[in-house]
Amino acid sequence: LPQAQPTQAQPPQVLSSETRRFSIQPLNRFQGASARIKRPCEVAHFSYDDKHEYRDDDSSINYYVPPPIGADLKEGFDKFRHYEDKEDPHLDSLLRAVMHKESSNDRSNAEIKADFVTWRGMMTKIMTAPYDNFAEFSMFATLHKGTIYLEEDFPSRAASRAAESSRPPPRNPHPDQQPQAMMTYWGYKFETLSLIPTPPSSTSPAQIAAHQASTTSNHAQHCSIVSTSFGPHTLLLGGEVDGLLGPKPPSTDTSTPVPWVELKTAEQLPPPHRQQHRDILRFERKLLKFWAQSFLLGVPTIVVGFRTKSGVLTGLQSFKTHELPGMVRRGTGCWDGNVCINFAAEFLGWLKGCVREEGRVYSVVLRKKSGVVEVREVGEGTGGIVSEEFVRWREEK
Ligand code: A3P
Ligand code: MG
Ligand code: MG
């Protein structure tokens, strides 16, 4: 019998210590017509129920009703059921919904593929970074079977949240100044007043009032997963959608946009005769985040609830997402949507060139005021970014 050859010991894998950098400035290289973009198209969805448990369905979809003007958004703060992730959620729910969709035996059960898979929030951070000197992010990426999976660096976010909540309050606050926790609450309270679980046409005024008076909670969510593209790069993005303005078209109809609505709160502007440039500037800067967030999932309408400094709802204004870049161009010009799109397209191309080796974890970091995104290898494997369940699912394909 031939003698068994001793198996050759694998050389220890050496992590590359190389750091690669992408400079955001100068922005003029991103000006001009925007890179080709595809209208986002929903490919899957899922819900979190009232215990924040995952469900393969649309049970947490809500419908918009106009909230009562004059409502105090601080009301009910003491009863707020606030959900915050204690464990790293990674991309697990998004991938679960993709597996569910692929296994359902309708005609669209082909593999749902893209160059990048991530939460919408990561792309919002990337897209808006060119116009925010204070922008900072920390993410992890890994390449698996040709797709780059990108997630938030959960430990660093949890640490900065903890630091923020232990910060002492300001010594001499403005009399109307509210604590940070309250400012987070009233965004959700605005949603409670504006969303009901059944179409308004089949809901009685008494039922609507009962929903509006219910305890505010952010446990339940409905998330839409869309396929989209920036220039040559395809993406699968998952994110929360607040509500519907009308019925959702059947999933077989991919040409009609879903009439999602994004709800936002903002401090009311002074009356026109007292408005100063800086008031408009502050609001239009805020619109960049609203636009990017909604644009990425193809949410066509944004309803802004204006509030006083102390949180009383004083007015509503509806914006068409696709009209916002033009509005700001004609206004203060403080951001340019084409630059955001071109920057994101270039950045994704560069990231593809960095995240090249399978079985590696890369960190993708933008430090505040640095203006430079740095990518380096930080570990082996997939770092939990791609769930084990999903790795097996792809292996079995
Ligand atoms: P506002 O955006 O009106 O302040 P979303 O708008 O994304 O649907 O989120 C709903 C609300 O959650 C927000 O309402 C805000 O109150 C809270 N929220 C979301 N992201 C937050 C963040 N990064 N920090 C603090 N609050 C946040
Ligand atoms: Mg939301
Ligand atoms: Mg919202």
- CA-186 nearest atom, ligand 1: 16
Q: How far apart are CA 385 and CA 91, in angstroms?
A: 6
Among 14-23, 191-200, 312-321, 336-345, the minimum mean pLDDT is found in 14-23
- How far apart are alpha carbons 261 and 319 in whole angstroms? 10
pLDDT at 148 over 70: yes
The rounded Å distance from CA 129 to ligand 3 centre is 20
CB distance 139 to 367 below 8 Å: no
Q: What is the pTM of this model?
A: 0.94
Q: What is the average pLDDT across 385-396?
A: 95
6 pLDDT more than 50: no
315-344 mean pLDDT: 98
Structure tokens at 253: 């109809």
Question: Rounded mean pLDDT of 246-253?
Answer: 92
| Residue whose C-alpha is closest to residue 359's, from 391, 327, 382 | 382
Predicted local distance difference test score (pLDDT) of residue 171: 82
**265 touches ligand 1 (CB under 6 Å):** yes
Q: Which atom of ligand 1 is nearest to the CA of 266?
A: 3
CA of 12 to the centre of ligand 1 (A): 45
Q: Is 96 in the pocket of ligand 1 (CB under 6 A)?
A: no
Q: Is residue 134 scored above 80 in pLDDT? A: yes
Contact 217 CB / ligand 1 (< 6 Å): no
pLDDT exceeds cutoff 90 at 40: yes
Q: How confident is the model at residue 1 (pLDDT cuts 50, 70, 90)?
A: very low
- 225 CA distance to ligand 2 middle (Å): 14
Q: What is the pLDDT of residue 164?
A: 83
Span of 8-17, 215-224, 236-245, 315-324 with lowest mean pLDDT: 8-17
pLDDT value at 50 more than 60: yes
* Average confidence score pLDDT of the chain: 94
Atom of ligand 1 nearest to the CA of 264: 3
Q: Are 60 and 51 in contact (CB under 8 A)?
A: no
Long-range contacts of 150-156 (CB under 8 A, 24+ apart): 150/116, 150/117, 150/118, 150/122, 150/351, 150/364, 150/385, 151/90, 151/91, 151/118, 151/119, 151/122, 151/385, 152/119, 152/121, 152/122, 153/363, 153/365, 154/85, 154/88, 154/89, 154/90, 155/88
Query: Residue 293 CA: which ligand 1 atom is closest?
Result: 7
Predicted local distance difference test score (pLDDT) of residue 251: 85
Residue 8, pLDDT > 60, answer: no
* HEC assignment per residue over the chain: CCCCCCCCCCCCCCCCCCEEEEECCCHHHHCCCCCCEEEEEEEEEEEECCCCCEECCCCCCCEECCCCCCCECCCCHHHCECCCCCCCCCCHHHHHHHHHHHHCCCCCCCCCCCCEEEEHHHHHHHHHHHHCCCCCEEEEEEEECCEEEEEECHHHHHHHHHHHHCCCCCCCCCCCCCCHHHHHHHHHHHHHHHEECCCHHHCCHHHHHHHHCCCCECCCEEEEEEEEEECCEEEEEEEECCEECCCCCCCCCCCCCCCEEEEEEEECCCCHHHCCHHHHHHHHHHHHHHHHHHHHHCCCEEEEEEECCCCEEEEEEEEEHHHHHHHHHHCCCCCCHHHHHHHHHHHHHHHHHHCCCECEEEEEEECCCCCEEEEEEEEECCCCCCCHHHHHHHHHC
Structure confidence at residue 2 as a pLDDT band (50, 70, 90): very low
- pLDDT: is 177 or 81 the higher one? 81
pLDDT of residue 394: 94
Mean pLDDT of 258-270: 97
More confident residue, 365 or 255: 365
In this prediction, residue 66 carries a pLDDT of 98
The interface predicted TM-score (ipTM) is 0.94
Token pair listed for 163: 């630091």
Encode pLDDT of 199-241 as tens digits. 999 999 999 999 999 999 999 999 999 999 999 999 999 999 9
Q: What is the mean pLDDT of residues 340-350?
A: 98
What is the reported pLDDT for 107?
A: 57
Question: What's the whole-number mean pLDDT along residues 318-337?
Answer: 98
- pLDDT (mean) for 359-384: 97
